[in-house]
């Protein structure tokens, strides 16, 4: 059992390190896009399925409440949280439309969409990104494997080069925390450890 734990830890650290080091400039660019949206009275929309839905909600909570820095709330919306909206769209239309209809209803030019899909092939995520692009919303994708279809649809793709969903998700939440940290720094010019 101890050997299994050490192997998981080693794999997780290896995947996260490779992903972050390969995407430093992409993370900075995305943090700048999100900060620019916030300063222009726009918002961050997030979506994902399963564990990626939880990541979308987690990241939105960090922006709305606080990450580590005490600061005003920042406008982020996880499109995964309204069960009445999701189930009515899924029932009346299709599950493929659960995020795209929300993007059309809530999104506007200048917003940022962070679409999270470990495979990069979730139909409802791809549909949301297509509609976001039509509206002039900057679309970024957190994905895995080879990036899937999502990588070619978004303005910016951050791809975890792994085919193991748990390792991809662990890298995604680290990227989410880095984005929160960088956006706080950009907007408030204060490093968390400066407090």
The per-residue pLDDT for 155 is 98
Task: Compute the average pLDDT of residues 155-162.
Answer: 98
CATH number belonging to the domain at 2-194, selected among 3.40.50.10490, 3.30.70.1400, 3.20.20.70, 3.90.550.10: 3.40.50.10490
Q: What's the CA gap between 123 and 160, in Å, rounded?
A: 19
Among the listed residues 47, 53, 107, 108, the one whose alpha carbon sits nearest the alpha carbon of residue 79 = 47
pLDDT over 70 percentage in the chain: 97
Task: Compute the average pLDDT of residues 172-181.
Answer: 98
**Sheet hosting strand 156-160, strand order edge to edge:** 76-78, 44-47, 112-117, 138-144, 156-160
Whether residue 194 is predicted with pLDDT greater than 70 in this model: the reply is no
Among the listed residues 106, 155, 105, the one whose alpha carbon sits nearest the alpha carbon of residue 129 = 155
Task: Compute the average pLDDT of residues 104-131.
Answer: 98
| Residue 141, C-beta contacts closer than 8 angstroms, at least 6 positions apart | 114, 115, 116, 117, 120, 125, 129, 147, 150, 151, 153, 154, 156, 157, 158
Whether residue 195 is predicted with pLDDT greater than 90 in this model: the reply is no
Q: What's the CA gap between 13 and 11, in Å, rounded?
A: 6
The per-residue pLDDT for 189 is 85
The per-residue pLDDT for 192 is 54
The three-state secondary structure class of 161 is coil
The full set of domain ranges for the chain reads 2-194
pLDDT tens-digit profile of 133-149? 999 999 999 999 999 99
pLDDT band at 190 (very low <50, low <70, confident <90, very high): low
The per-residue pLDDT for 193 is 56
Task: Compute the average pLDDT of residues 23-37.
Answer: 98
User: With contact defined as beta carbons under 8 Å apart, do 134 and 76 qualify?
Assistant: no
The per-residue pLDDT for 191 is 56
Residue 20 CB-density burial (10 A; 0-12 exposed, 13-18 middle, 19+ buried): middle
Task: Compute the average pLDDT of residues 17-28.
Answer: 98
Mean pLDDT of the chain: 96
pLDDT tens-digit profile of 78-91? 999 999 999 999 99
Among the listed residues 131, 188, 118, 167, the one whose alpha carbon sits nearest the alpha carbon of residue 11 = 167
């Amino acid at each position: 059992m101890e050997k299994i734990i050490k192997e998981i830890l080693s794999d997780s650290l290896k995947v996260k390190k490779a992903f972050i080091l390969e995407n430093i400039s992409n993370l900075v660019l995305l943090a700048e896009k999100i900060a620019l949206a916030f300063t222009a009275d726009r918002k961050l929309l997030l979506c994902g399925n399963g564990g990626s839905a939880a990541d979308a909600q987690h990241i939105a909570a960090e922006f709305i409440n606080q990450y580590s820095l005490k600061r005003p709330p920042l406008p982020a919306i996880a499109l995964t949280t309204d069960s009445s909206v999701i189930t009515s769209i899924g029932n009346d239309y299709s599950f493929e439309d659960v995020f795209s209809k929300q993007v059309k209803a809530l999104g506007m030019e200048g917003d940022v969409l962070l679409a999270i899909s470990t495979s990069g092939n979730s139909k409802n995520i791809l549909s949301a990104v297509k509609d976001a692009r039509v509206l002039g919303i900057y679309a970024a994708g957190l994905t895995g494997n080879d990036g899937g279809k999502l990588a070619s649809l978004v303005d910016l793709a951050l791809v975890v080069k792994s085919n193991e969903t748990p390792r991809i998700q662990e890298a995604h939440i680290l990227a989410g925390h880095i984005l929160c940290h960088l956006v706080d720094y950009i907007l408030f010019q204060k490093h968390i450890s400066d407090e």
